[in-house]
Amino acid sequence: MDIQVSEQVIRIHVIKMNGRLDAFSVKALRSKLDELTRQGGIHFVLDLADVSFMDSAGLAAMVSLLRQVQPLGGTVKLVRATEANANRVLTLTKMDRAFPIFDNSAAALAVV
Amino acid sequence: MKTYSDYEHWKSTPLESDPYLSIVIPAYNEANRIVPTIGAIAAHLSGKGYTWELIIADDGSKDETVQLVSSLGLVNMRVLKAPKNGGKGSAVRRGVLAARGKYILFDDADNSTPIEEIDRLLPKLEAEGFHMAVGSRAADGAQEGNKSLKRKILSYGLRFIVKHFFRIGVKDTQCGFKLYTREAAQKLHTAQTVMGFSFDLEILYLASKFGMQVAEVPVNWVDAPGSKVDPAKEARRFIKDLLRIRLNDLRGAYHNKRAAELRVAVVGTHPPSQNTLTEYGYHFIRHLRAKPDVSEVILICDELPAGESYQFPRENGLAPVTVVPAWKFGAWNNALHIWKAIRQQKPDVVLFNIQFASFASSKLIAALGLAAPALSRAAGYPTITLLHNIMETVNLKQAGFAGNPLMETLTRAAGKFFTRLLLRSDEVAVTIPKYVEILQKEYKTDKVVLAPHGAFNQTPEPVFDPNPAVLRLMTFGKFGTYKKVEDLVEAFQKLQPRYSQPMELVIAGTDSPNTPGYLAGVQQQYAQVNNLRFTGYVPEEAVAGLFTDSTVVIFPYTSTTGSSGVLHQAGEYGKAVVLPRLGDLAELVTEEGYSGEFFEPGNIDSLVNAISTLLDNPPYREEMGMRNYLAAQGLPMADVVDWYLVNFYYLLAQREQEQQPKTQMPLTVAPAATSRTSTRITV
């Protein structure tokens, strides 16, 4: 009998944000994402659960990340915001069909 | 000594922008050889006068390679650590795709091709326009030192197969010294499937398939001691990989649209055309061309007057533009001509950049042009229409229908009909959230998406001048329809005597194509007003100066307009703005974070007050300018273009799915990982 065991490790960055994610605060998120992708990170979970408001600029940082990592075989998953204000821009732009969206980060991490 | 000081600077000062050159070194257990290689590279490149970065793409080294290079403390060197060995091709791929340089060199860790050879490769890309230059040990003029007999036999055998069975012109496919433009590198390594020894061959095969120009440059080469190639073993793998590449191609594996193969048609205007939306069209196409997955932009635009032409010089890193002047402002059959041009060009996707009056000033003829998106989609092309204004928010009374209820009703009904026609596109994109909600409600459709305007340029932080020598008021646009300058000139006349500093009112831009002769009339009417300047057409290179020299930017609009390109430009240059209290602009201010001083449209005193509020209070002006600057920086147009591409890929995937046999079960992939690590970060 042959027994084959393989262990694979996938590095996933879970980024949790809170408060407003808008044109004025997005710079911090962009520079953090930039730093992580420069280090070779390609799998991300962006946890919006505690984000109270998100505008187009906030969403743009996420779409930009998606476009950057997808060709490298990377993934960007979102955790749904509890505030409707933060989800509105996702629905209006239909970007909710570009990202897999989960209720919490544990659920996002459970799916490869 | 300059070289040493440059090295010290490179070692300790992080790059502020994307470098000129990225060097990628794949490394597997290279602890013994890599440091001298890094030293040789740093010694040669310091003092060259260009910026560069170094990327060590580890391939799951089991020795001290990663610790050793990390301990060097070079701020412009990145170490991409791999958890396991995935083959040299996988390391090069990760390194190249992470590189930011205009040019990217992949260089072996053993320094077998001396770094000095880069000086022979760079001019091929820079001056001669090649997409790729490969170091060659087989080209005329190359010198091979220390090459073992076994290795010579392997090289000649492989060259024979490649030339006769693969029709690849490059004689030496395996030399670990290849320079690409970033665009070419991303395109090739995105499509790469071979991760082992023969990945070079696949890259060259793809370069030939994608129609790239490859220069083979003779280089000096030394078979470095400790080289890890076992000739016989590698020859067997090479033959196996050759067959795999051929099979991949036959299966269509390289046809994936994400592998830089997307041909995008843009229907709309572009400078030097003087029709509407040229500024938007110019910047959109500029950003679209820079996307690595876009292989060609097809501009289906209006015909220019004799003697003028569209200019798109070929540039490295930018997709080429094919110009198809297919329609004429005011012609009744524009939709038909656009449809023909699309069918002739066969793009992958089509974007219309239009507004209701894009095709003519006559309402009926303009409306006929609006059938073009429906025809494009009916011909089978995924079609998105970016609609800059919507009928529902146009004030028809101000548009000349006051007192004629029958005409107003008819115009509204026609507007609805043509909006429905535009909704025959796969998607209609609008720039303001409110527009999405209005159209969704009015037409019971789910085809409308929000795609914000975005800032045309990423500009440096503005320098604020609290006491400018001239208080310069500026307005910019195409005037005569809902942008009228009479009230602004009247307000300027009232303002001039109030200030001791010299003042100037700059009216920049041209007539709207719908109102020819309007500005000439205004100029004549106010010929006696001092310090009033009409610039006429503003070429792209003069736009920055126009904004930076202004104290306040004014929007003398009388009707709703959609998202304002000029407001975004004012933001880019950190300007305070005076806006009419109209629905759209107020909405935009709230949604996109801009701020302005508001006036009541049609009320000259209100306009005077709004302008003087800003002129009298430099700190307030500065604060508003900075806020607008930050708002503009928050959403660059380059990102907005990405949104369109994401939407296009969605539409393409949808079409692919529709074409699959219905009986096929959806493919599910079982999770491969048994464990994973995650890092938590709170921003």
**Per the CB < 8 Å rule, is B681 touching A18?**
no
Sheet holding A9-21, edge to edge: A101-102, A75-79, A43-54, A9-21, B675-682
Q: How far apart are CA B181 and CA B317, in angstroms?
A: 6
Q: What is the pLDDT of residues B471-530, one digit of tens each?
A: 999 999 989 888 899 999 999 999 999 999 899 999 999 998 888 999 999 999 999 999
To which residue do tokens 């491969």 refer?
B672
**Among residues B450, B484, B518, which one ends one of the domains?**
B450
**Among residues B595, B614, B634, which one ends one of the domains?**
B634
In 3D space, the residue among A53, A50, A46 whose CA is nearest the CA of residue A86 turns out to be: A53
Nearest CA in chain A to B590: A55
CB neighbour list of residue B75: distance below 8 Å, 6 or more residues apart: B11, B12, B13, B14
Q: B482 or B29: which carries more pLDDT confidence?
A: B29
In 3D space, the residue among B128, B260, B244, B243 whose CA is nearest the CA of residue B182 turns out to be: B260
Confirm whether B664 is domain-assigned: no
> What's A82's domain CATH number?
3.30.750.24
Q: Are residues B269 and B199 in the same domain?
A: no
* Distance of residue B174 Cα from the nearest chain A Cα, in angstroms: 23
pLDDT of res. B143: 55
Q: Which run of H or E residues covers position B194?
A: none
Q: Are strands B220-222 and B321-327 parallel, antiparallel or unpaired?
A: unpaired
Average model confidence (pLDDT) for chain A?
A: 88
In 3D space, the residue among B39, B105, B103, B108 whose CA is nearest the CA of residue B69 turns out to be: B39
Q: Would you mind telling me the total number of residues written for chain A in this entry?
A: 112
Where does the pLDDT of residue B109 fall: very low under 50, low under 70, confident under 90, or very high at 90 and above?
A: confident
Closest partner CB to A112 (pick from B81, B639, B673): B673
Average model confidence (pLDDT) for chain B?
A: 85
Confirm whether A2 is domain-assigned: no
Q: Are residues B553 and B439 in the same domain?
A: no
* Distance of residue A77 Cα from the nearest chain B Cα, in angstroms: 13
* Distance of residue A55 Cα from the nearest chain B Cα, in angstroms: 7
Print the domain residue range for A84.
12-110
For residue A67, which residues of chain B lie inside 8 Å, CB to CB?
642, 645-646
Q: What is the pLDDT of residues B54-93, one digit of tens each?
A: 999 998 888 989 889 988 888 899 888 877 788 888 899 8
Q: How far apart are CA B509 and CA B542, in angstroms?
A: 11
**Per the CB < 8 Å rule, is A60 touching B634?**
yes
**Per the CB < 8 Å rule, is B634 touching A24?**
yes
Confirm whether A5 is domain-assigned: no
For residue A39, which residues of chain B lie inside 8 Å, CB to CB?
78, 80
Residue A35 has pLDDT above 70, yes or no: yes
Print the domain residue range for B169.
2-255
Longest dimension (CA), chain B: 96
Confirm whether B678 is domain-assigned: no
Q: Are residues B492 and B562 in the same domain?
A: yes
**Per the CB < 8 Å rule, is B683 touching A15?**
yes
Least trusted range by pLDDT, from B94-103, B156-165, B424-433, B463-472: B156-165
* Distance of residue A20 Cα from the nearest chain B Cα, in angstroms: 11
Q: Are residues B186 and B314 in the same domain?
A: no
Give the gyration radius of chain A's Cα atoms. 15
* Distance of residue B671 Cα from the nearest chain A Cα, in angstroms: 6
pLDDT of res. B11: 84
Q: What is the pLDDT of residues B245-290, one digit of tens each?
A: 877 777 666 654 444 579 999 999 999 998 889 989 999 999 999 8
Q: Are residues B47 and B196 in the same domain?
A: yes
**Per the CB < 8 Å rule, is A60 touching B639?**
yes
Closest partner CB to A32 (pick from B84, B673, B681): B681
Confirm whether B644 is domain-assigned: no
**Per the CB < 8 Å rule, is A98 touching B635?**
no
Give the mean model confidence (pLDDT) for residues B628-648: 91
pLDDT of res. A93: 94
Confirm whether B425 is domain-assigned: yes
Confirm whether B677 is domain-assigned: no
Q: A2 or B323: which carries more pLDDT confidence?
A: B323
Q: How far apart are CA A84 and CA A73, in angstroms?
A: 31
Confirm whether A52 is domain-assigned: yes
Where does the pLDDT of residue B664 fall: very low under 50, low under 70, confident under 90, or very high at 90 and above?
A: very low
Give the mean model confidence (pLDDT) for residues B212-223: 83
* Distance of residue B98 Cα from the nearest chain A Cα, in angstroms: 7
pLDDT of res. B669: 34
For residue A89, which residues of chain B lie inside 8 Å, CB to CB?
433, 450
Chain B interface disruption, residue of A56, A76, A78, A95, most B CBs within 10 A: A56
Query: What is B304-315 written as a DSSP string?
Result: PPTT--------
**Per the CB < 8 Å rule, is B645 touching A67?**
yes
Look at chain A and report how many structural domains it folds into. Answer: 1
B581, B590 contact by CB (below 8 A): no
**Per the CB < 8 Å rule, is B682 touching A11?**
no
Q: Are residues B482 and B435 in the same domain?
A: no
Q: What is the pLDDT of residues B136-156, one digit of tens each?
A: 876 655 555 556 677 777 777
Confirm whether B669 is domain-assigned: no
Give the mean model confidence (pLDDT) for residues A41-69: 92
Q: What is the pLDDT of residues B598-615, one digit of tens each?
A: 999 999 999 999 999 999
Nearest CA in chain B to A98: B646
Confirm whether A3 is domain-assigned: no
For chain B, give the percent of residues with pLDDT over 90.
44
Confirm whether A29 is domain-assigned: yes
Chains A and B form CB pairs within 8 A to the count of 144
In 3D space, the residue among B682, B71, B181 whose CA is nearest the CA of residue A29 turns out to be: B682
**Per the CB < 8 Å rule, is A13 touching B645?**
no
Q: Are residues B531 and B591 in the same domain?
A: yes
Chain A interface disruption, residue of B432, B435, B683, most A CBs within 10 A: B683
Q: Are residues B356 and B421 in the same domain?
A: yes
In 3D space, the residue among B26, B87, B85, B98 whose CA is nearest the CA of residue B57 turns out to be: B26
Residue B662 has pLDDT above 70, yes or no: no
Q: Are residues B512 and B552 in the same domain?
A: yes
pLDDT of res. B398: 56
**Per the CB < 8 Å rule, is A71 touching B678?**
no
Q: What is the pLDDT of residues B394-423, one digit of tens each?
A: 666 555 555 577 777 888 888 899 999 999
Q: Are residues B241 and B272 in the same domain?
A: no
**Per the CB < 8 Å rule, is A8 touching B645?**
no
Residue type, position B676, single letter: R
Confirm whether B666 is domain-assigned: no
pLDDT of res. B660: 60
**Among residues B238, B255, B272, which one ends one of the domains?**
B255
* Distance of residue B133 Cα from the nearest chain A Cα, in angstroms: 24
Q: Are residues B233 and B170 in the same domain?
A: yes
* Distance of residue A1 Cα from the nearest chain B Cα, in angstroms: 22
Q: B676 or B240: which carries more pLDDT confidence?
A: B240
**Per the CB < 8 Å rule, is A64 touching B258?**
no
For residue A38, which residues of chain B lie inside 8 Å, CB to CB?
78, 98
Confirm whether A67 is domain-assigned: yes
pLDDT of res. B257: 42
Residue B369 has pLDDT above 90, yes or no: yes
Look at chain B and report how many structural domains it folds into. Answer: 3
Q: How far apart are CA B51 and CA B72, in angstroms?
A: 19
Q: Are residues B49 and B8 in the same domain?
A: yes
**Per the CB < 8 Å rule, is A23 touching B678?**
no
